[in-house]
Homo-oligomer: A and B are copies of this chain.
Amino acid sequence: MNEKPDMRIKIGSLEMKNPVTVASGTFGYGPEYADLVDLDRLGAITVKGICTEPHVGNSTPRTFETSGGMLNAIGLPGPGAQGFIKKYLPFFENYRVPLIVNIWGKTVEDYSRVAEIFNDQARISALEVNVSCPNVKEGGALYGTDVNLFRTVVDAVRIKTQKPLIIKLAPNVADIKVFARAAEECGADAVSIMNSYPAMAIDIETRKTQLANRTGGLSGPAIKPIAIKLVWEAAKVIKIPIIGMGGIYSPEDALEFIIAGASAVAVGTASFTDPSTVVRVIEGMEKWMAARKISSVAELKGTVQA
């Protein structure tokens, strides 16, 4: 019948066989969903944020469900760079799927150091830099919303790694174009948009915030229209690829991001709702494109009417 569309895309030197990955923090370190999802079916796997040293993260409660979304303030607990290499990297020897490691730090030196450590790991295909995590008081928020600090971090990481470098932008800025441009100018190979949006909920009976960390990040279908807008805006000013995310639940959602200007997409919160989402998205995109004789994702990218 219809020919299979060409789903391949490139992020710097990283070739993905399809444009669909998972959002950092929503898919663990890889093994957690391996029983339920055929990992090698994905364009890439993006793991939870990792810092140089092991980190304990926030107290509980760490998540809270809201209308059409959820709040999270996990606080980036993790085994640290060496811990990740020892504990989780061997797992990926049994898979071919490209591995994107999300990194973060409390200081510029942290970022630089963790990038350096991972630069030597052949199994890691790309680094995604989280400058936008709204949960860690020690840095995240600041790096992502102050363009000078932002440049400092991107520069510091760029210098330490030859791997494709993805900068994950903070959504809570007046003008995303400023940060998208800065990332491109500092030599990033791609940007990802968006992280969860700073938000909060309160239990009116106890007067306590619903998250131990007080504030957290809003994710899920609720934020999709915000994410689409940010991707569309950024796509107007940069040439490097954009990985779009925020509330992707269906092939149609993913296609909306591509049409808005993203080269790739990530499925996040939807994996909690239904772990089969990410594969369903890949298959659905393929089918949708084939039915319309769209020969490649590249052809579809940014085709929203001006």
Contacts and interface: CB of A to CB of B under 8 A. Distances in A.
Interface of A: 66-69, 71, 145-146, 170, 172-175, 197-202, 204, 206-209, 215, 218, 220-226, 228-229, 232, 247, 252, 255-256, 259-260, 288, 303-305
B225 A201 contact: yes
Number of copies: 2
A204 B174 contact: no
A256 B204 contact: yes
Given A207-B305, A228-B202, A305-B207, A68 B71 contact: no
Contacts of A173: 172-174
A172 B198 CA distance: 11
Nearest to A221: B67
B218 A199 contact: no
Given A67-B220, A199-B226, 7 more contacts: A66-B225, A145-B174, A172-B172, A173-B173, A197-B226, A201-B224, A207-B259
A301 to B, nearest CB: 12
Nearest to A253: B204
Contact of A200 (B202, B225, B255, B288): B225
B68 A304 contact: no
B201 A256 contact: yes
B207 A304 contact: yes
A201 to B, nearest CB: 5
Contacts of A222: 67-69, 221-223
A23 B146 CA distance: 32
7 contacts: A68-B68, A174-B174, A198-B226, A199-B228, A200-B228, A202-B228, A207-B305
Nearest to A249: B67
A259 B204 contact: yes
A223 B66 CA distance: 10
B228 A260 contact: no
A66 B246 CA distance: 13
Given A209-B305, A304-B209, A247 B67 contact: yes
Contacts of A170: 174
Given A67-B247, A259-B207, A305-B207, A199 B172 contact: no
B200 A71 contact: no
Contacts of A303: 207
A215 B304 CA distance: 12
Contacts of A225: 66, 69, 71, 199-201, 218
Given A67-B221, A69-B68, A174-B173, A229 B215 contact: yes
Given A172-B172, A218-B226, A200 B260 contact: yes
